[in-house]
Amino acid sequence: MASPKRFIAGAVCPRCAEMDKIRMHTTDDDQQVRECVACGFTDDTPVAIGTGDNMAAALGLGLRRGDVAISLGTSGTVYAITSGSTHDATGAVAGFADATGAFLPLVCTLNATKATDSIRRLLGVDLAEFNDLALKAAPGSEGMVLVPYFDGERTPNRPLASAALTGMRSDVSREALALAAVEGVVCGLLEGLDALIDLGVEPTGRYFLIGGGSRSTAFQRAAADLIGDEIQVPANDQAVASGACVQAAALISGQSFAEIADRWELGAGLRVTPNDVDRLGIRSRYKAMAEQSLSFEELESPLRVE
């Protein structure tokens, strides 16, 4: 028996998130129907379940098993798709699920473009000038190594750590200092990739560079050179929003995520090939200095609690 429409106190609309805008009534065939007076939502409206930011970015890239995504924002992340869950007793790798029924092991660092911004301010240049300086330096930064733990670090878990710059000589150049910052950030994220590999991730596919820092040609060059493989910088710089669109399209069309990724050519963009550089030497020097700087953390940090 049909009933009048009544508002449901405290109910939140699943589409627009407005509270107290949902009303319900019963139809002649005893079906209960909800509708939102704010946005027009009804129970017949399909609603995708949503997901997290990195999971949405994976959808927006069309990330497949074997692919790796490296994101350069204020902080940095590196992640991949796996068919099984990962378990890291050290806590370096977060064992997330993705948005497709698979898994998304991920490493997050606290210092990415915030580190290069710190050195940029010291050099007194804008973003474009900093990028040009870093590109003019030879790979290896004239022997300098910057460990960019400016305000502590999340991976490795060193909340009291600070940044360390070593290898500086009297003939130091502004160009080399700029590149040292870029290489330090990339090396830190590649340490995260090594942690993923230790848990069984096999990077046999594409490498994506995303996030605000990915627009920097200096970061693009350093990433390709230090990985030793081609990287892709998607033309679409809104991978997370694209992932939300993929979810909605899959719900409406009934197509698989992979089919939509192929049809939309997700992840397509600039390809950067590596140069022949001493990547093992650069990375090994970074690793050694990172371990050394951490050994002085408790002695040097002004935040140390007695």
pLDDT for residue 173: 97
CA distance 52 to 92: 19
- Which CATH number do you get for residue 253? 3.30.420.40
In this structure, are 187 and 232 located in the same domain? yes
- Domain presence at residue 305: no
Half-sphere exposure (Cβ direction) of 211: Cα atoms closer than 13 Å: 20
SS3 151: coil
Q: Is 9 exposed, middle or buried (0-12, 13-18, 19+ CB in 10 A)?
A: exposed
- Domain presence at residue 15: yes
Other CB atoms within 10 Å distance of the CB of residue 275: 11
pLDDT for residue 298: 53
Strand ranges inside 150-259, DSSP E: 164-166, 207-210, 231-234
pLDDT for residue 300: 54
- Domain presence at residue 277: yes
CB 223 within 8 A of CB 69: no
What residues contact residue 76 under an 8 Å CB cut-off, 6+ apart? Answer: 70, 108, 109, 111, 112, 185, 188, 189, 192, 211, 213
Q: For Cα atoms 38, 42, 44, give the angle at the middle one, nearest 5 degrees.
A: 155
pLDDT for residue 297: 56
- Domain presence at residue 156: yes
In this structure, are 105 and 214 located in the same domain? yes
CB 244 within 8 A of CB 56: yes
End-of-domain residue from the set 13, 29, 45: 45
SS3 120: helix
* Number of structural domains the chain divides into: 2
pLDDT tens digits, the chain, 306 residues: what are they? 567 888 888 889 988 999 999 998 887 777 788 899 999 888 777 777 789 999 999 999 999 999 999 999 999 999 999 999 999 999 999 999 999 999 999 999 999 999 999 999 999 999 999 999 999 999 999 999 999 999 899 999 988 889 999 999 999 999 999 999 999 999 999 999 999 999 999 999 999 999 999 999 999 999 999 999 999 999 999 999 999 999 999 988 999 999 999 999 999 999 999 999 999 999 999 999 998 876 665 555 555 444
- Domain presence at residue 201: yes
In this structure, are 18 and 157 located in the same domain? no
Q: For Cα atoms 229, 235, 236, give the angle at the middle one, nearest 5 degrees.
A: 120
In this structure, are 94 and 175 located in the same domain? yes
In this structure, are 37 and 59 located in the same domain? no
- Domain presence at residue 306: no
In this structure, are 278 and 177 located in the same domain? yes
pLDDT for residue 296: 60
Element (H, E) at 147: strand 145-147
In this structure, are 33 and 180 located in the same domain? no
CA 270 to chain CA mean position, Å: 18
- Domain presence at residue 5: yes
In this structure, are 196 and 215 located in the same domain? yes
In this structure, are 149 and 4 located in the same domain? no
Residues forming the active site: 53
In this structure, are 75 and 118 located in the same domain? yes
End-of-domain residue from the set 45, 61, 80: 45
Distances in Å between the alpha carbon of 287 and those of 47, 69, 189?
Answer: 46, 21, 11
In this structure, are 33 and 154 located in the same domain? no
In this structure, are 34 and 97 located in the same domain? no
Residue whose entry in the numeric block shows the structure tokens 């000589």 = 169
Domain extent, residue 39, equals 1-45
- Domain presence at residue 33: yes
